Amino acid sequence: MRPAGRGELESLYFDYPHFEPPVRDPAVVEERARVMIVGAGPVGLVAALALAREGVASILLERKDTFNDGSRAICIARQSYHILERIGAVDRFVDKSYGWTTGRSFYRGRQILEFRMPHGADEKFLPMYNLEQQYIEQFLWEAVRESGLIDLRWQSEATAIEENPDGVTVSVRDPKGDYRVKAEWLLAADGARSAVRALCGLRLRGDNHEGRYVIADVQMEHDYPTVRRALFDPASNPGRTVLIHRQPDNIWRIDYQLEDGEDENAALSEPHVRAMVGAILKEIGHDKPWALEWWSVYSANTLALDDYRRGRILFIGDSAHVVPIFGVRGLNNGLADAENAAWKLARVLRGEAGEVLLDSYSPERRGATLDVFANATKSARFMTPPTQGWRLVRDAALALAVDHDFARPFANPRQMTPYTYAGSPATCADKDGFSGGPRPGAVAVNVILGDGTWLSDHLGIGFTGVLFSPRAGAAAAMGAALARLDPRFRLLVIGAGGEGVFADTDGRIARAYGAQPGSFYLLRPDMHVAGRLLHGDPGRLVASMKTILWGKEA
């Protein structure tokens, strides 16, 4: 909602563009596409870019004529910046967003916790960045415009689908009329109220949590660093919680919890929102002018599809799952879905893998959603205790945290952490007894190399092998065997330095990977570890990679 007198898209800081529908010949009523994506929200845009990176063209449908309006996602996690980097879009994000590592929790006005998210010199990006979703979509759209492989059609709505064994026919409506597109594959990125999901007769299943929050964005000159503040039981909202985030363009996000049973319509009236926001700002010492940008109400849900794949349709982003915003996981999770689906689908379309590779999409990404649910449920219980019992425990922990270190970590609304695809069919069994390092399914450890670049800078668009101090000739043999399975395979050699070898003179990189001379890691295009060998026969890993790409009968 916007203040009285301002139009739906009249933002204080963002100029919404207006996009025309595609110029097309209305006489053409049927087209063909290899991939169609429904929904150009952030997840659909990233899916299209991740496919384009692999050389796969797509048609991307969006029913609106501009970006999503209002206040939505603001916190983007490190792992998402790696995805944005891989699809060639991260620079704009780094320039505009505010990175942060620190959160502070307050109980009845007293600071009880300052926590720092894990961060070290080997990380290329900060743990978290704040950027309004309007900019997220704008920057992705700019990258789409430059890609040349994405046919983005605004004001174009998917109205019906027909599923066949070899594809999906989508009926599209735009201002010129209706037409059909026969696509080999369909990515449903059409959000929490997904039309594709409904047309398939599928439903999200799960729970609704207690507690509603008003989410208000205000513009103000406010001298506070980019630190996430959580106020428990503040004077401005007694017994409840307030969260405050800084965003670019002097915009501040204020989330405040409503009282149980509070009338939502009354709570959302402009005078009431102004009174609440004014009280919160006074409490944090802001006595200068401020302007209301937008507000809405939110309650936490943990909802997901039972299976994110249905034949030739892959559900990505909010169409597949709706997660609570505590811990900032909705968009971040969706971006990982988009990349996961795209790298696998691109290989299937190019004939470099069988459809079996796509069987791992749902277990991997649904597993990640269930992990988010588990964490978010803990956060939600702490932020908005569901029963009197939970409230007593929560309040006791907060009161103890004023004077006791041991109770302080409870007051940390958990943030997003990357998920390990343990036991996924797109990873190899871990049989070698490594003493450390990332296990198969985990995100590879980033390290800074001797030349000042990061390991992540050297990953290719295919699988990447990382070989530690190999015997003479071993690197070439291994590279050749894996390149036969993946033409985009790239090999990085870490060792004593010299021609084609990244120097690890003090053994720091080998230690991060628990590696010995001859150890080998196979990384997937999404930077997750596919498999690893402590030393010994590379043939085993080659066979495993064949199984990942082609299945057991390969």
CA–CA dist 493, 511 (Å, integer):
15
Closest CB to ligand FAD among residues 194, 456: 194
Closest CB to ligand FAD among residues 42, 514: 42
CA–CA dist 422, 511 (Å, integer):
22
19 binds ligand FAD (CB under 6 A): no
For residue 173, the minimal CB distance to ligand FAD (Å) is 9
Q: How many residues does this entry show for the chain?
A: 554
Non-local (6+) Cβ contacts of 417 within 8 A are: 375
Closest CB to ligand FAD among residues 77, 522: 77
38 binds ligand FAD (CB under 6 A): yes
CA–CA dist 210, 260 (Å, integer):
9
Using CB under 6 A, which of 190, 293, 339, 526 touches ligand FAD?
A: 190
CA–CA dist 26, 115 (Å, integer):
58
Residue nearest to ligand FAD (CB): 41
254 binds ligand FAD (CB under 6 A): no
Closest CB to ligand FAD among residues 195, 442: 195
DSSP H helical ranges for 215-360: 264-267, 270-283, 330-349
339 binds ligand FAD (CB under 6 A): no
User: Six-digit token pair at 438?
Assistant: 């990332």
Closest CB to ligand FAD among residues 178, 457: 178
Buried b (16+ CB within 10 A) or exposed e, 394-418: beebbbbbeeeeebbebbbbbbbbb
For residue 476, the minimal CB distance to ligand FAD (Å) is 43
Using CB under 6 A, which of 298, 390, 454, 550 touches ligand FAD?
A: 298
Non-local (6+) Cβ contacts of 159 within 8 A are: 171, 172, 173, 178, 195
61 binds ligand FAD (CB under 6 A): yes
Closest CB to ligand FAD among residues 338, 527: 338
The site map against ligand FAD for 64-93 (x = CB under 6 A) is x---x--xxxxx------------------
191 binds ligand FAD (CB under 6 A): yes
The site map against ligand FAD for 302-321 (x = CB under 6 A) is ---------------xx---
43 binds ligand FAD (CB under 6 A): yes
3-class DSSP string for 363-428: HHHHHHHHHHHHHHHHHHHHHCCCCHHHHHHHHHHHHHHCCCHHHHHHHCCCCCCCCCCCCCCCCC
**Measured CA distances, 30 to 59, 398, 446 (Å):** 13, 62, 47
For residue 193, the minimal CB distance to ligand FAD (Å) is 7
CB 101 within 8 A of CB 117: yes
Q: How far is CA 491 from the centre of its chain?
A: 27
Q: Backbone phi, then psi, for 35, in 5-degree steps?
A: -130, 135
189 binds ligand FAD (CB under 6 A): yes
For residue 8, the minimal CB distance to ligand FAD (Å) is 14
Of 228-236, 329-337, 487-495, 510-518: span binding ligand FAD (CB under 6 A): 329-337
Using CB under 6 A, which of 128, 158, 342, 522 touches ligand FAD?
A: 158
Closest CB to ligand FAD among residues 315, 521: 315
The site map against ligand FAD for 99-138 (x = CB under 6 A) is ----------------------------------x-----
Closest CB to ligand FAD among residues 157, 210: 157
CB 445 within 8 A of CB 470: no
42 binds ligand FAD (CB under 6 A): yes
Closest CB to ligand FAD among residues 65, 210: 65
For residue 468, the minimal CB distance to ligand FAD (Å) is 35
3-class DSSP string for 516-553: CCCCEEEECCCCEEEEEECCCCHHHHHHHHHHHHHCCC
324 binds ligand FAD (CB under 6 A): no
The site map against ligand FAD for 355-394 (x = CB under 6 A) is ----------------------------------------
Closest CB to ligand FAD among residues 70, 538: 70
39 binds ligand FAD (CB under 6 A): yes
For residue 480, the minimal CB distance to ligand FAD (Å) is 41
Cα-Cα end-to-end distance for the chain? 56
Burial tier of 9 (Cβ tally within 10 Å: 0-12, 13-18, 19+): middle
332 binds ligand FAD (CB under 6 A): yes
Q: Backbone phi, then psi, for 461, in 5-degree steps?
A: -85, -10
Closest CB to ligand FAD among residues 196, 284: 196
CA–CA dist 352, 227 (Å, integer):
46
By the criterion CB under 6 A, which residues form the site for ligand FAD? Answer: 38-44, 61-64, 68, 71-75, 133, 157-158, 189-192, 195, 215, 298, 317-318, 325, 328-332, 334
